[in-house]
């Protein structure tokens, strides 16, 4: 025995004692097994087994563990092979036309606004539904003389499930009030009933898909006058590619699937007016024209 051995034993003893002390402080007060487990030997055995490409169970004892305390066969940590994937279901991709046809079929079934709302809630043809929190169907009088169709719900509308309740909605209320109209007396809806992610503008495909529901909504309310608020609404309802600055303030008429025609005017969207207050003078002009039309005798 050399002089270094007792010194090494002493250092090992101190290290073990320090380790046990550390375990105790960490709250480890009992051992899981009677016999200690040599994790280093396990790791070496596993490395060797991987190198040899041998399975763990039943294999010969790896060389690295020879002479070490007998070990339970180390568990194979390699992930078990995945079961074969079931064949991917054929995804029924529906064309925009097929979606619009389905929307037309569903919307035509509604005999009341409540039924239309239920049918819309069940409709899965518009992808916006997946990211929205709530369906924003519409609000206001169900027999209104004036109906407004906005663009799409924003964050506040998505949370509330009601159209035009945020900043734009408050401006809309003031705009209506300025010509003696109460918000609860008009009917309000949007071209799409679900909030587009990040408040982006709804795509033409999305407004087209939802159009049959919007048209049925108008048919069921049967207003004397319709107003398109903003560009997406004006484009889809007036079937026009012209910009909102050219469309606004001009009277047109739309023909509904049931054959009824409704005098319609496009106006600047309240959200746009919040960003461009100088354009409120155009909105004021349009509001006066709207009020004059409403005051005309049938
Ligand atoms: N803007 C819209 O076009 N519709 C709403 O409901 C809210 C903001």
β partners of residue 11:
none
The structural domains of the chain, ordered by start, are 98-295 (3.40.470.10)
Ligand 1 centroid–CA 233 distance in Å is 11
The residue nearest atom 7 of ligand 1, judged by CA position, is 164
How far apart, in whole angstroms, are the C-alpha atoms of residue 152 and residue 201? 8
Binding-site residues, ligand 1, Cβ < 6 A: 150-154, 157, 163-164, 168, 190, 271
Q: Report CA(154)–ligand 1 centroid distance (Å).
A: 6
Q: Edge-to-edge, what's the strand order for the sheet holding 251-255? A: 139-140, 187-190, 146-150, 225-229, 261-267, 251-255
Cα of first residue to Cα of last residue in the chain, in angstroms, is: 119
149-162 residue pLDDT tens: 999 999 999 999 99
| 241 CA distance to ligand 1 middle (Å) | 21
For residue 230, report the distance from its CA to the centre of ligand 1, in Å.
Answer: 10
Pocket of ligand 1, candidates 134, 169, 188: which has the most ligand atoms within 8 Å of its Cβ, to mutate?
A: 169
pLDDT tens digits for range 57-88? 544 444 444 444 445 555 566 777 777 766 65
Q: What is the reported pTM? A: 0.71
- SS3 label, residue 251: strand
Per-residue pLDDT of the chain (298 residues; tens, 9 = 90+): 455 567 777 788 788 777 776 665 554 545 566 677 777 888 888 888 888 876 555 444 444 444 444 455 555 667 777 777 666 544 457 888 899 999 999 999 999 999 999 999 999 999 999 999 999 999 999 999 999 999 999 999 999 999 999 999 999 999 999 999 999 999 999 999 999 999 999 999 999 999 999 999 999 999 999 999 999 999 999 999 999 999 999 999 999 999 999 999 999 999 999 999 999 999 999 999 999 999 997 6
Ligand 1 center to 98 CA (angstroms): 27
Atom of ligand 1 nearest to the CA of 156: 7
Q: Is the dihedral of CA 210, 216, 220, 226 positive or negative?
A: positive
List the one residue out of 203, 185, 195 whose CA is nearest residue 131: 195
Residue nearest to atom 3 of ligand 1 (CA): 151
């Amino acid at each position: 025995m050399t002089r270094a051995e007792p010194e090494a034993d002493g250092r090992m003893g101190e290290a073990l004692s320090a380790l046990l002390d550390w375990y105790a402080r960490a709250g480890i007060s009992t051992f899981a097994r009677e016999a200690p487990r040599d994790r280093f030997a396990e790791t070496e055995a596993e490395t060797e087994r991987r190198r040899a490409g041998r399975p763990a169970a039943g294999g010969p004892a790896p060389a690295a563990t020879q002479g070490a305390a007998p070990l339970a066969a180390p568990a194979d940590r390699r992930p078990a092979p995945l079961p074969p994937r079931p064949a991917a279901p054929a995804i029924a991709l529906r064309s925009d036309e097929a979606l619009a046809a389905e929307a037309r079929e569903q919307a035509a079934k509604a005999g009341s606004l409540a039924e239309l709302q239920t049918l819309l809630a069940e409709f899965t043809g518009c992808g916006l539904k997946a990211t929205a929190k709530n369906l924003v169907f519409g609000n206001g009088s169900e027999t209104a003389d004036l109906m407004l169709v906005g663009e799409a719900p924003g964050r506040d509308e998505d949370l509330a499930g009601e159209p035009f309740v945020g900043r734009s909605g408050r401006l809309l209320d003031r705009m209506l009030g300025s010509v003696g109209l109460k918000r609860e007396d008009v009917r309000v809806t949007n071209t799409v009933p679900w909030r587009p992610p990040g408040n982006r503008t709804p795509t033409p495909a999305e407004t087209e898909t939802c159009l049959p529901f919007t048209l049925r909504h108008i048919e069921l309310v049967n207003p004397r006058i319709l107003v398109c608020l903003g560009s997406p609404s004006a484009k889809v309802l007036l079937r026009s590619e012209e910009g909102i600055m050219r469309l606004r303030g001009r009277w047109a008429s739309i023909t509904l699937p049931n054959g009824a025609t409704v005098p319609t005017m496009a106006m600047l969207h309240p959200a746009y007016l919040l960003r461009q207050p100088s354009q409120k003078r155009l909105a004021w002009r349009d509001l006066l024209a709207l009020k004059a039309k409403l005051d005309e005798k049938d």
